[in-house]
Amino acid sequence: MNDKLNSEMLHHLEYEGKTVTLVGTAHVSKDSVDLVKSVIEAVNPDTVCVELCESRAQSIRQKQRWQEMDIMKVIKEKKAFLLLSNLMLASFQKRIAERLEVAPGQEMIEAMASAEAVGATVCMADRDIRTTLSRTWRSMGLWGKAKLIFQLILSLGEVDEISEEDVEKMKQQDMLASILDEVGKSMPQVRATLIDERDRYLTEKIRTAPGQSIVAVVGAGHVPGIKATWNQSIDLAALDAMPPKSQTAGFLKWFIPFCICAMIIYGFFRGGTAAGTDMVTWWVLANGILAGLGALIALGHPLTILSSILAAPLTSLNPMIAAGWVSGLVEAFSRKPKVIDFENLPTDILSVKGFWRNKVTRVLLVVVFTNLGSAVGTFIAIPMMMKFI
């Protein structure tokens, strides 16, 4: 690796008597792996900080972790959107890494191995991925989540067009940011939680790590943010906390169903039985058909599609339950994922076809697309119903 590239990737910082060597890497770069090893061997630090949290480090070490997933629990805890997006992000990174014959996160694995070789302490410096994605999800509405999912699906088909030279350019941008770049332009909250907040989190964890000599290995996209916040006061607890749910969203969750019910009742009084019946018919058809279409797009079981059609008109009026949760549970019961589906998950997520073929990801797709279909049905039904008032 040439000296120019080294100078672009290595940054030297100081904090309260500590010396920190910040290594900016491309997460799927062969050169980055070699650089990490050589820097740690040369510096022989007291501590090596890595851009991993405990759960991500565990997932790298334990290849069979997917077999422990409880798909029913995922649906009941309303985490289908969250898990599906996480799997798509993992797919993008793994496919690039496969093309370049580098394991995803290999530079982090090398950092931990090299730290152990020189007797340095390993510090997991990143915020828990579950907290990061949950904070992102909490900041987004239904349409924002839909845009994110569709952008991720589209990104699955773009990997074949990416060369090793393109990946090296990712040194200028975090892996998550590179995938979500277009979405991030119209959804700044995505960047705020995925990138900016983690910049501050990494800064605080690195500069307060034990020892006087520290090597920190992070994605190069975080380097500018870390350097910019290096001397700022940072509240780690606030970055780890879950933000309160939006009062407006909570209000609308109940207010919209109330208004729809009131509209139907008013229709019966103002327009008579015929008008009221027409309003109910539009509500049932719009919600049911589009929710069923969503389940069909996800290639759900016939019983799953039927359950989504029947459930959507009712669940859309109940803020405590969603049509996708019903259809997802029916899909999980009708085509219960087997051990082989969990074993094949790391391979199946490498292609769009695999997402639809694997019974685990298909359940997640059923939940997501049924909910989206039901939501679209609601917004189509409302103006159609108003014509009868």
The pLDDT tens digits of the residues spanning 117-138 come to 999 999 999 998 778 877 877 7
Residue 187 pLDDT grade (very low, low, confident, very high; cuts 50, 70, 90):
low
| The pLDDT of residue 72 is above 50 | yes
In this predicted structure, what is the pLDDT of residue 64? 52
In this predicted structure, what is the pLDDT of residue 80? 75
Question: What ranges do the domains of the chain cover?
Answer: 3-240, 247-386
Residue 28 pLDDT grade (very low, low, confident, very high; cuts 50, 70, 90):
low
What backbone phi and psi angles, to 5 degrees, belong to 47? -140, 140
220 or 191, which is more confident: 220
Name the residue with tokens 């898990």: 83
Give the closest residue to 360 by CA, choosing from 389, 340, 387, 385.
340
Q: How far apart are CA 370 and CA 57, in angstroms?
A: 33
350 or 69, which is more confident: 350
SS3 45: coil
Residue 106 pLDDT grade (very low, low, confident, very high; cuts 50, 70, 90):
confident
Q: How far apart are CA 168 and CA 147, in angstroms?
A: 27
> In this structure, which amino acid lies at residue 261?
C
CA angle 303, 307, 311 (to 5 degrees): 180
In this predicted structure, what is the pLDDT of residue 246? 66
Half-sphere exposure of 174 (CA within 13 A, CB side): 25
Mean pLDDT computed over every residue of the chain: 81
Residue 4 pLDDT grade (very low, low, confident, very high; cuts 50, 70, 90):
very low
